[in-house]
Amino acid sequence: MNFHVLSLFPEYFETFLKNGVVGGAVQKKLISLSVVNPRDFTEGNYKMVDDIPYGGGDGMVMAFEPMSKAIQSIKSENPLKIYLSPQGEPLTDKVAKTMAETKRDIVFICGRYAGVDERFISEYVDQEISVGNYVVSGGELPALICIDAIARHVPGVLGNKDSAVKDSFHDSLLEAPSFTRPAEIDGLGVPKVLTEGHHEKIATWKRLISILRTFQRRPDLYERANISPKERLLANKLLAEMSEKDLRISGLKNQALPLDQS
């Protein structure tokens, strides 16, 4: 999968391309990332890419022409062109997975200053994406987040093919907690079920803990999750059997699920 980025700060992406999951995917040639700087398509000593907005405003606006030339320089057939904007569709794991499955090149457009000339957006942008209800200084960090989230769904990028499926937000549930050696430290032990090697019991425990954590931490996700009445009963039964220490190490509160879902 090929990613392209329009950015005034290509250096933001240099370390990203060399490290972690994305760096490994680049080395395996599962994904590629190129950065185009709109400043390279300007003239004059100052290489101006922004100008004063018509009608006034609280800052400078990135101009149409250098952005237009920059995006036209990208050699890709029918790429998906995304503008990172707080006004866009919220990025979710489902959105990231859908983008990975399009098998189209993706161009991320990183705004700066007070934004981009709206005519550029209307002329070139296919979709606007937001990474949250807040404002950052530019589109570079949101672009990095999007690329990482999408790359995880590209076959072969993750070492374990099931990792993306088991991550938080799959099926609208948060992931169950993880533990490693030693089995006990500072008086805190690993949940017994995880040490017994019974895979079916472990899978059930993780599912029920995921349901409880999602209800307690992200009720908005819980409302969308597909949870059967039987699972709600089992989750509450598990919760009732847990000691205060069990609750603590599992990241839970003593807060049961509502059984009436009408």
pLDDT digits (tens, 9 = 90+) for 115-150: 999 999 999 999 999 999 999 999 999 999 999 999
Residue 15 pLDDT greater than 60, yes or no: yes
- State the alpha helices, DSSP H only, in 73-198: 93-102, 118-124, 140-151, 163-166
For the chain, give every domain's residue range.
2-151, 168-249
What is the distance between the alpha carbons of residues 132 and 144, in angstroms, rounded to a whole number? Answer: 14
Residue 14: per-residue pLDDT: 92
pLDDT in tens, 73-106: 999 999 999 999 999 999 999 999 999 999 899 9
- Work out the average pLDDT over 149-175: 79
**CATH superfamily name and code, 168-249:** tRNA(m1g37)methyltransferase, domain 2 (1.10.1270.20)
Average pLDDT, the chain: 93
Residue 62: per-residue pLDDT: 95
Contact partners, residue 139, CB within 8 Å, separation at least 6: 7, 83, 84, 85, 108, 109, 110, 111, 112
Q: In the 8-state DSSP scheme, what is residue 52?
A: P
Residue 261 pLDDT greater than 80, yes or no: no
Q: Which residue in this structure is represented by tokens 């550029």?
A: 120
- Residue 101: C-alpha distances to residues 67, 94, 97, 170 (Å): 27, 11, 6, 16
Residue 67 pLDDT greater than 70, yes or no: yes
Residue 25: per-residue pLDDT: 95
**CATH superfamily name and code, 2-151:** SPOUT methyltransferase, trefoil knot domain (3.40.1280.10)
